[in-house]
Amino acid sequence: MSLFVDTLLAAWYYGTLPYRWWSTAKASAAGCAPAMVLFYHRVADTDVHEWTITTAEFKAHLDWLQENFEIVSLSEAQDRLRSGKLHAPTVSLTFDDGYAENCRDAIPEIVRRRLPCTYFVATEHIRSGRPFQDDLELGLSFPPNTIDQLRAMVAAGIEIGSHTRTHPNIGEISDPEVLRDEMVTSRDELSALLGTPIDWFAFPYGQAQHMSAQAFRVARRAGYRGVCSAYGGYNFPGEDSFHLQRIHGDPGWLRLRNWLSIDPRKIAQVQRVDFPSPLDMPTLVEQGARR
């Protein structure tokens, strides 16, 4: 951010902080606190760009998060939201895509601290070793995780999630066979390779235009426990907890603190995108068959 924007944000953040503390305490007492989900991509100290955070910054994030929030798994956050009462804000940690460099420092640090984390990967990149196209277009070539690395993560307690087969824009896919291959078949293959259930799906890119009602139906019918977006937003009790909105774990301290101290502007401005339909929920028979 520019110095001018930083200055404006700082004025807003510090000027409204007392109100935020009061508002959060009031909401928590009423059981209306939010569940917040952060997403990261790549933790590394070289070729740092907008989807990369340095190792030191990431560890500082974890220090601050542990001091100020209870860090819970996606499933625990969902369970608390479904209960209809959340008496303190919580934070969940996730990663998208699957960069091999995350195994150098980030994942070992999470494991050392015994923090829950869901790590979403695009299956074809994991199997082929092919870098992500978005990085190649920037002249960058970062290796994706290997199957052995993911197996080691599972053994260490990291939850693996599905992020499609080829990392496409799901919102542009209308062919049901292609959609099912990206969202379901690739998940089942990944589950077989790792020997663990895959319960969560994250939309590549994760903005409103990258999702669809058809994709939500596929996810529900396939027995996913839930899906994740990436356009920002808080998750409150009473909302459809099948869809968890996520916030970018930005390397900028001020932006991170502004989001997680519950910015009233964000509550008002971020429009939640949902495609709920109870008729599309998988039956117990379908869920049992997948297990």
Structural domains of the chain, ranges and CATH numbers in brackets = 3-290 (3.20.20.370)
Distance CA 141, CA 130 (A): 9
Beta strands in 5-71 (DSSP E): 35-40, 42-43, 52-53, 70-71
pLDDT for res 286: 38
pLDDT digits (tens, 9 = 90+) for 54-64: 999 999 999 99
In this predicted structure, the answer to whether residue 132 has a pLDDT above a threshold of 60 is yes
pTM: 0.93
Q: How far is CA 219 from CA 14, 93, 118, 288, in A?
A: 41, 21, 17, 15
pLDDT bracket for residue 275 (50, 70, 90): confident
Distance CA 211, CA 202 (A): 10
pLDDT for res 287: 39
Distance CA 73, CA 157 (A): 11
CB 163 within 8 A of CB 204: yes
pLDDT for res 277: 61
CB 72 within 8 A of CB 36: no
In this predicted structure, the answer to whether residue 190 has a pLDDT above a threshold of 90 is yes
SS3 46: coil
pLDDT for res 2: 73
pLDDT bracket for residue 252 (50, 70, 90): confident
pLDDT for res 42: 97
pLDDT bracket for residue 5 (50, 70, 90): confident
